[in-house]
Amino acid sequence: MSEENKSDSKQYDTSIIYDYKEYPDIRSGRCDNCGHSHFKSRVKDYEFIRECRNCGMKKSI
């Protein structure tokens, strides 16, 4: 990845689980951090967690 592409991405902290109500998708169905659309999902403490398979950004849906 070139330096130009790194500055274009948002660089969210991937260790935090973001709440969808506070941080809705910028582009529907796409990761806000890297723009990919491939996710893995799980349920944790009665919350649906969506994680980007490319960068690891997590959102509670």
How far is the C-alpha of 27 from the C-alpha of 29, rounded, in Å? 6
- pLDDT of 5 higher than 50: no
Residues 40-52 have pLDDT tens digits of 999 988 999 999 9
State the pTM of this model: 0.75
Domain range holding 53?
3-60
- How confident is the model at residue 12, as a pLDDT? 87
Q: Reduce the DSSP state of residue 39 to 3 states and report it.
A: strand
How many structural domains compose the chain? 1
- How confident is the model at residue 11, as a pLDDT? 84
Residues 15-44 have pLDDT tens digits of 999 999 999 999 999 999 999 999 999 998
- pLDDT of 1 higher than 60: no
